[in-house]
Amino acid sequence: MKRREFLTTGAAAAAALAATTAAVADDHADKAKDHGGKFKLKYAPSPGQFKAHAGNDYLDQIQFAADQGFTGWEDNGLPRQKPEMQEKIGKKLADNGMTMGVFVSVSADMAPSADKDTRDKLTSRMTEMLDVAKRVGAKWTTVVPGKVTQKMHMDYQTANVIDNLRALSEVCETTGLVMVLEPLNWWANHPGLFLQQIPQSYMICRGVNSPSCKILDDLYHQQISEGNLIPNIDMAWDEIAYFQVGDNPGRKEPYSGEINYQNIFKHLYKKGYEGVIGMEHGHSVGGIEGEKKCIAAYRKADDFEV
């Protein structure tokens, strides 16, 4: 084949492939919009959760989630994105009427000390995070108080955590950003961390006494740490600002384990919860089929009577 013919044939093939790819993408989009409408609650996928369908492009993943009826988005690693990308993420979410969930702003050992040096480092970090939140329209940010120490009574450690969180709250209150404290389980994922359970988090939030310091109730972690999920939701309700989910065991999508998420979501809906529910879990099956199974699981869990 002559070079000119080769180039012409190659260009035609490339054009045909591009047209086919576009047609498939359009077909996926059309089918996605016929999925049953928006979910009742703001379930929030994360980057990479639907990449088998949407590809590696971050903004395309947001669009795919929106087309499936999801109205929340969550990205723990958001501060690692460049400011220009954060602006694009914020715009993409706004264009689709989606609510930005949490990103992790501060993860530091707060229990051993609440001295000036510790507070200055913490508040400096949080001050930087205010701009990140503004770019994406975020209302909440995750704070993890770090590790417990064996060299100090737990009550003294609690007092230090409260003092450090009061300093962080003063920063957040300037813009209305809400820190959400996430208790994490020791037994499967995070041995040795200070904050473990909802009652403990409730006590700390009461001690901080700020509208910018609330609880992130990750029901996967709390099923492992304490169970009694709905009663603990009710007991701590005034201090809970955010939820995350994942089934147990395995930390996969709803109905892959033992938690009855339809009952929980119905309970949250009836209580008037309007915040985001972060889908912080993996898939029990890989690839496109796993993503389809995940979406179907949320459709099932969201199919409660109101």
Query: H/E/C letters for each residue in 227-269?
Result: CCHHHHHHHCHHHEEEEEECECCCCECCCCCCCCHHHHHHHHH
Average pLDDT over residues 63-85: 98
* Tens digit of each residue's pLDDT (9 = 90 or more) over 105-144: 999 999 999 999 999 999 999 999 999 999 999 999 999 9
Instruction: Please give the pLDDT value at position 222.
Output: 98
- Looking at the predicted structure, is the pLDDT value of residue 21 above 50? no
* CA 158 to chain centroid: 26
- Looking at the predicted structure, is the pLDDT value of residue 159 above 50? yes
Q: Which residues pair with 279 in a beta bridge?
A: 245
Q: What is the average pLDDT score of the chain?
A: 92
C-alpha–C-alpha distance, residues 138 and 152, integer Å: 36
- Looking at the predicted structure, is the pLDDT value of residue 6 above 60? no
Task: State the DSSP H helix or E strand holding residue 106, giving kind and residue range, or none if neither.
Answer: strand 104-107
Q: Match 């993890």 to its residue by tokens.
A: 144
- Looking at the predicted structure, is the pLDDT value of residue 276 above 80? yes
- Looking at the predicted structure, is the pLDDT value of residue 13 above 60? no
Decide: 260 and 288 in contact? Cβ < 8 Å: no
Instruction: Please give the pLDDT value at position 31.
Output: 45
Instruction: Please give the pLDDT value at position 35.
Output: 63
Contacts of 186 (CB under 8 A, 6+ apart): 192, 193, 196, 225
Tokens, residue 281: 């879990």
Band (25; pLDDT cuts 50, 70, 90): very low
Task: For residue 134, give the nearest of 168, 169, 161, 100 by alpha carbon.
Answer: 100
Distances (CA, A) of 82 to 50, 72, 132, 139: 22, 21, 10, 19
Comparing 23 with 245, which gets the higher pLDDT?
245
Task: For residue 243, give the nearest of 182, 187, 284, 195 by alpha carbon.
Answer: 182
Q: Which CATH architecture has domain 37-301?
A: Alpha-Beta Barrel (3.20)
